[in-house]
Structure 1
Amino acid sequence: MIQRYKPCREPGGTWTVDDVLTGRPAEMGSRTIVGMNQHDAEELADLLNGLNAQRQEAKS
């Protein structure tokens, strides 16, 4: 399965979680996921990918 969310390093050295389908930073509610450290961005991307996989399985 394609990972929808991936952590990406920003030019300033902080990290964002990108939504591969939209090509934009991911959002949680009304908050854009930017300005994080690498560890947090990687963990959040893993969490979002897990939730996305569960949603896809529920649709099947």
Structure 2
Amino acid sequence: MPDAANSNVEAQTFDMREDPEGWTVYDTRTDEPARVKGVPQIGLEMEKADDLVDLLNRLAQRAGESFAL
């Protein structure tokens, strides 16, 4: 039986990493910065990046596939 905690991590489409100006939210499949309304999500405060990762992953999970913002 799959472990629910691990399956959530495996399904994570977006994550965050530190960059020179703050934090970047990126697409784990392409390794490119996530874009919201065409704006790359780089140089964010840690809390904002973390909130955005949660939001984008919830939206991706609901959509069940890749989507563009």
How does the TM-score come out when normalised to structure 2? 0.74
* Runs of at least 5 residues in structure 2 that lack an aligned partner in the other structure: 1-7
Q: How does 1:8-47 map to 2 (within 5 A)?
A: 8-10=17-19, 12-47=20-55
Higher relative contact order (CA 8 A, sep 6+): 1
Q: Which 4+ stretches in 1 moved above 6 angstroms? A: none
Give ranges in structure 1 of 5+ residues lacking alignment.
none
Supply the AA of the counterpart residue of 1:24. E
Question: Which one has the largest radius of gyration?
Answer: 2
Residue 5 of structure 1, aligned match among 14, 29, 34 = 14
Root-mean-square deviation over aligned CA pairs:
1.5
> Secondary structure at the residue paired with 2:42?
coil
Count residues with an aligned counterpart: 56
